[in-house]
Structure 1
Amino acid sequence: MAPKKSTRTSGATSQRTWLHLRQQWGMMGMFEITPEHEFYHLTSMMKDGIHASIQATMDTPVQDTLSPEHFKEEETEAHEGFVMQTFAAPVFAKLRRSLDIKEEEYMNCLCSDGCYLQFVSNSKSKANFFVTNNKRFFLKTQSRREVRFLLSNLHAYMDHLEKYPHSLLVRFLGVHRIISNQIKKYFIVMQSVFYPDERINIRYDIKGCEVGRWTDPDTGEKHRIKVLKDNNFRGQCISLGQDKSWFASQVKLDAAFLRELNVLDYSLLLAHQPLHKEEIERKHTLANLVIRTTKTDLELQEFHKQHRRLLPDFKNAVHVIDGPDRRYFVGIIDIFTMYGWKKRLESLSKSLRYPGRSFSTVSPTKYSHRFCQWIQGHTQ
């Protein structure tokens, strides 16, 4: 009889854990996309299409050198009830390899039996946000214009990441399109900046300006993740210690790249959590290691030339920086807004409406400079 009681107890514990996890998701603004959910059909097609796309990549020889044709490649797979288009598959496969993301691992995260989660935030974007069950990868619907912009600048994006492997730019891992009788959607897959997020309580979206950059943290919308903004960060700082200069310099390099693309309105996603005692001790141990003991002078010169840093032993290492007593999650997102005539008119309108105040819609040169100034002034 005892074993049966133990099994029932174990089952009850597992159920309580699952219910607690679902409750936590709800409090964080994440909801399971079950068969009754409005996006269940869409996300099911995403899963099936991505599975076939990744399988095709796994069956194709690895491309170490990318040709111009790889950047223009479009694959179309017919599935039951829909068609899935995959863009520049060899390019994104190489990018995943550079992040040490195995294709099997990528497939298991995106195509597991677990439901995707719908991510609900206070963002003004009309896009739909989904996240994998383990919250490691984001899926976001995009407009045709945004996707075309990304693909047309994909070569430059890859060159930048090759030159600066520890860039803070968000990593795009795939671009796809679902076509069915009812649905026509482009979507991208991204590495989540906030992974793992178990101990993250506060998130910020920083643009380096003041107009419209305040979020009321107590609006009573408990089922919505509150992403705070620049004005909410007043009186605080990003305390990185010895990585301060690296961080500020990398932001400048990334912002200069976006300025060359004639882009504005991007953000620095920022979150932090306290380091545990053992994490601080491990950080100090690593800090005492001398790079020269493991690298030749030539390798060390190349290491500094690419503006690298010692990364933590972490799945999401490029977006994680450990300060003296806090772990910071940082990444530059939303890089699709070009400074065209609509934005120029908006900039003129806002300059008349908010004289002497800083707002987001300014020229890429001014935006880049102000963005870097904010980072410099708030990092120590």
Structure 2
Amino acid sequence: MRTTRRALAAVVSAAALLVASGCGAGEDDATASTVEVFTWWAEGGEKAGLDALVSRFTAACPGQEFQSGVIAGGAGVNAKQVLNARLQQNDPPDTFQAHAGAELLDHINAAQVSDLTARYEAWGLTAALPAGLIETLTVNGKLWSVPAGVHRANVVWANDQVLADAGILVAPKNLKEFVANLEKLRRNGIESPLALGRDWTQLMLLEAVLISDLGSKRFNGLFNGETKWDGKPVRTAIDDFATIVGYSNPDRDSLDWPQAEQLLIDGKAGYQMMGDWVAADLDQKNFSGYDSFTFPGNGKTFQWLADSFVLTTGAANPAGAECWLRTVASPEGQQAFNARKGSIPARTDAPTVGFTDYQIEAVEDWKSGTPVPSCAHGSACSQPWQNAANAALGAFSTSGDAAALQAALAAAARQFVRQP
């Protein structure tokens, strides 16, 4: 993956696609029905992407009015807690954001989300989405969510000036070179060369290290039982992870990813390991002095996650929620959303007009790379498994006990893994 510093180009024109469904023309426009859309997109490029979708929805669905159910917090850590409480109290939003894949298992088993298989055919999604993504989205032979876009998780962001001041001019090719650069930055006066945030961002870092040390096939095996979490290869990766964490900011457990990103912008860190939503956020903050590269040692592995929306079984306004989903599913909606958010369309037929250099490159990497899912973002593991991993990493961040971390991760796998 090449690097990019260009700001986001203008998104497509405001002319919206009017959807031909029950939520379109013919409804009584005088009295709007509200559609509560529950998300965690509260700031930066994420909010910009949501705003673009809302504009599409407003034009495409006369008679329907968007109602925000946003709960701030990176990766939906806070939102998921609020959502689960509401679902248990039979107070669901009309639609809610979720990561596509295993994260939806509990909601499916609890009959909290509706089968969308027929809509996939009607909206052209079956033909427009990659077969591998369709496979991941399918549970018990049915499709339960509509993906809005795909992100890459295993990306490192670098402050050009900080690296140049330390004499670092080339991206590291492997973990050994990465650690050497971190040490060089520290010797050059950067106390915390790696900007890092709370538990789930640490899980992202651990997954990237695991991919480097295990390779994509054995990494995938961690989530289907083929690779043992208590084996020596995983211990090697955890030791490498511990070394890298040692070069991060001591207050990592109190920061979400935007606050960790600020350390990079302010020149207090040289690197941040974070998903490619960072590009849109940095550009929105008018910071152009950055480069990016795939995590050292990951090669052509594309660790993906997909933002998606569901139709809740207890939706107060199912027609409005369906119109929201159809807006999300449309090529025009995906173009507008992803151009602002910094992700790439889930649909392979969506236009890429207005995309940055990075996004165009990501589209090509998605086509040619080796895709692997992300536990930190729900495509590889269920929500309870993710929670257990985050708790284990939170404990490790305080104790530094690598053996205890491996034991906790192995215990979580024994409890939650779905055998092949």
Bin of the TM-score, shorter chain as denominator length: under 0.3
More helix by share: 2
Answer with 1 or 2: which has the greater Rg. Answer: 1
More strand by share: 1
Output the TM-score relative to the length of structure 1.
0.24
